[in-house]
Chains A and B, each alone.
Chain A
Amino acid sequence: MAHTEQEILDGLGEIIDEIAGVSASEVTPEKSFVDDLDIDSLSMVEIAVAAQDKFGVEIPDDQLKDLKTVQDVINFIQK
């Protein structure tokens, strides 16, 4: 099942709000997880696991480290 970019963005916003306490409205494609949203490596794992449950796409740890921005995650899930 393919997801639109907007669906993924909205879904990530909800996940990041719940896990990291960052308001979903802050979660926009150009934002960097570390520099803009202050999300650390363990929260990234939680976000990846939640994204897998939601979108059915596994994000392994060795690829997770290359996903720097919200757009990177959107692209990975859409790929």
Chain B
Amino acid sequence: MNLLPAAAGARVIALGEYQPANVVTNDDLAERVETSDEWIQSRVGIKERRIAGPDDSVVSMGAAAGGKALAASGLAPADIDLVIVATCTLVDQIPNAAARVSARLGIEAPGAFDVNAACAGFCYGLGLAADSVRAGSAHNVLVIGSEKLSDWLDWEDRSTCVIFADGAGAAVVTAAETPGIGPVVWGSSGDRADKIYLRDDKYLYQEGQAVFRWATTELNAVAAEALRRAGVEPEQLTAFVPHQANLRIVEAIARKLGAPQAIIARDIVTAGNTSSASVPLALSRMSGRGELPSGSLVLTMGFGAGLTYSAQVLEIP
């Protein structure tokens, strides 16, 4: 049996993002549930978030973000031979989002599948994309995180509806002589599946304190392992882009990272928690603002329901 020729490495060559136009402020939410701008900002760090309009879906937002990444890559739709959509909020599960996104972008006959690793999904997808390219099973991969959390929120529940939001981010991954995506460190803890789940099969629910304790005590080891496997020292990082779960979780992990020089992604402040979309959304927005120069090293890490987690180092295109 033959194997395909392997690529030396894989790298991200372009990023893209999409956010719904509809801005929802903390004051807007305070009109619906008993909360306040001060409470939300101090507990989760969010000032405003975007909520999908009637024309925004997981598929449409994913296609919009993916289309921008594809345009920025300089590749043609025909060059893409694998499309991966990380999502955990697709209401109409069949057919998958990846095939529908591909059709919208004019990408013909790619491998197309969705990944559900909750808020860790994009980092899982990026790991799969890099491994597929290295193994030769794909040449150019479009990886997307797209989420419409607003379909799964109880708008009477002030502990969740103030946190979650909608959006999408995307990256194009291709073969490279020198690796631009480090080894993925992924794992899960299914014995704690009851910490984040769908209540009554329809409303996202989480045990905030338990999730906070897990994220702030166990995830630094995952971050350190991703750096170790990539052979990158914390001092070499230009930025740390973790899942935008809660600003206090982001800052607690960042404090223990040993990378005081690194820019810490605080995209949650204006984007909310968009689950698997939050990492590529933050990357794309930070890159767009010029905060991530070409060639700089960034540590990405997703974590969420499962519990699942995934991290890797990547080089900015």
Contacts and interface: CB of A to CB of B under 8 A. Distances in A.
Interface of A: 40-42, 44-46, 48-49, 61, 64
A61 B217 CA distance: 14
Most chain-A Cβ atoms within 10 A of its Cβ — which of B210, B213, B217, B246? B213
B207 A46 contact: no
B209 A61 contact: yes
Contacts of B216: 45-46, 49
B163 to A, nearest CB: 12
B202 interface: no
Contacts of B252: 46
A45 B246 CA distance: 14
Contacts of A64: 209
A42 B217 CA distance: 13
Q: Which secondary structure characterizes the binding site on chain B?
A: helix
B218 to A, nearest CB: 11
A49 B43 CA distance: 18
A61 B248 contact: no
Contacts of B209: 41-42, 44-45, 61, 64
A49 B42 contact: no
23 contacts: A40-B42, A40-B43, A41-B208, A41-B209, A42-B43, A42-B208, A42-B212, A42-B246, A42-B248, A44-B209, A45-B209, A45-B212, A45-B213, A45-B216, A46-B216, A46-B252, A48-B213, A49-B217, A61-B207, A61-B209, A61-B210, A61-B213, A64-B209
B51 to A, nearest CB: 24
Contacts of B210: 61
Contacts of B207: 61
A42 B42 CA distance: 10
A46 B210 CA distance: 11
Interface residues of B, number: 13
Most chain-A Cβ atoms within 10 A of its Cβ — which of B42, B212, B216? B212
B208 A49 contact: no
The 9 closest A-B pairs by CB, nearest first: A61-B209, A45-B213, A45-B212, A45-B209, A42-B212, A61-B210, A49-B217, A42-B248, A41-B209
Interface string B231-272: 000000000000000101000100000000000000000000
Contacts of B217: 49
A44 B209 CA distance: 9
Nearest to B39: A40
A44 B43 CA distance: 12
Contacts of A49: 213, 216-217
